[in-house]
Structure 1
């Protein structure tokens, strides 16, 4: 039984049919990546899973519990947590306050303290800057903070939306190394990423989304070898 199962999701923005029957699964312990061009519906898929955007048709289940119609904060309480595109940290709050916001649904004080220590261990820069305002951090530091804030909710599945966007190549490598590190420590991950080559290098499986539809799904290695994927998304001709 998959940890996360998405069945036949249809989502609209007004009259625009953004998702046209998206179905996917994520098994516990996996990194699954969702790749596709701009406007393909990748972010909409994550937002629909999280109930940030309401789908008009379809079903989302977490560990066989139907969560389709739950509000966004109840989805977080169930264990689906997103680090959003563009980071969306609280610029006028300190690093520590941003991290504390990640744990706002939790009441297990000792476990929250343990998770905070794990975040600081994973991102030592955040420990150094814990009293600094979020808006004064560099782009890479803000991405670390966005992921750290999501981890403070203790996700059963972590949704990462474009974690490498706008970062220098060295920082991109750092972020992907951290994603692998988190997965090795039992964090299940659904990854949306423009850098398809890097995403497929660390993922177990992948889906290719095009204009709101899944057009391919396979192991990450098979997708890396697929001629259509290589030409369209990996920059190889």
Structure 2
């Protein structure tokens, strides 16, 4: 059974019909990529899953349980962590305080300390800046911090929205290497990424979204080899 399912999900921004019947699923342990142009509905799909956008129709299931109407903080507690586009760290808080915010639902200080140490293993640069204010970090460091903050909740699914945006190629390579490493430990990943080639390289499967609708799906090999995909997204 899929760990996450969207069935005929419709969502709106005011009068704009942003998602027009999105149906997709993510299996345990997969990396699934959503690719598409700007404004296609990729970010809205993640926001709808995490509770930031409320669907007008359709259902969202997590391990078979309906989470369509739950609040964002409840989504985190249920096991979904969302790293939003643009990082959205707390700029005036220190790195440590940002990470602690990610563990808002965890009461056991030992668990918080263990998770923070694990974050430091993935992101040594974050550990080096643990007492620095988040807003004074570089873009790449902030992306690492945003991912670390998400991991502090102990998620089963990590949703990443444009993790490579605005970053130098060498940092992008590091970020994608860590995504693969996380997945190898069993973490399920739903990845939105405008760099379609890079996203599909590490994904098991992918979905192509255009104007709020799923237009194509397949394995990474199938999508990388498709002539339409090549022309539209990989040129």
Which residue matches 2:111? 111
Question: Shift of residue 113 of structure 1?
Answer: 1.4
Residue 124 of structure 2 is matched in structure 1 by: 124
Residue 156 of structure 1 pairs with residue 156 of structure 2: yes
Distance between the aligned counterparts of 2:73 and 2:201, measured in 1? Answer: 32
Counterpart of 1:88 in 2: which secondary structure?
A: coil
Correspondence for 2:55:
55
After superposition, residues 79-98 of structure 1 pair within 5 angstroms as 79-98=79-98
| 1:2 equivalent in structure 2 | 2
Aligned residues: 235
CA distance in 2, matches of 1:108, 1:90: 23
3-state DSSP of counterpart to 1:233 = helix
Q: Which moved more, 1:107-116 or 1:150-159?
A: 107-116
Alignment partner of 1:230: what SS?
Answer: helix
Alignment correspondent of 2:199: 199
Quote the Cα distance in structure 1 between the aligned partners of 2:71 and 2:174.
33
RMSD over aligned CA atoms reads 0.6
TM-score, reference length from structure 2: 0.99
- 1:146 deviation in Å? 0.4
Aligned mates of 1:17, 1:101 — CA distance in 2: 33
Unaligned runs of 5+ in 2: none
Query: 1:204 and 1:110 mapped to 2: Cα distance?
Result: 35
2:18 equivalent in structure 1: 18
Gaps of 5+ in 1: none
Deviations 1:58-107 (A, max 9, x none): 10010001010111111110001100000000000000000000000112
- For residue 18 of structure 2, give the secondary structure of its aligned residue in structure 1: strand
Where do 1:31-46 residues align within 5 Å?
A: 31-46=31-46
Q: Runs ≥4 in structure 1, deviation > 3 angstroms?
A: none
CA shift for structure 1 position 189: 0.3
CA distance in structure 2 between the partners assigned to 1:226 and 1:91 by the alignment: 42
Deviation, structure 1 residue 202 = 0.2
Per-residue CA distance 1:182-222 (angstroms, 9 max, x = gap):
10111100000000000000000000000000000000111
- CA deviations over 1:27-57 (Å, ceiling 9, x no partner): 0000000000000000000000011011100
Distance 2:31 2:220 in 1: 10
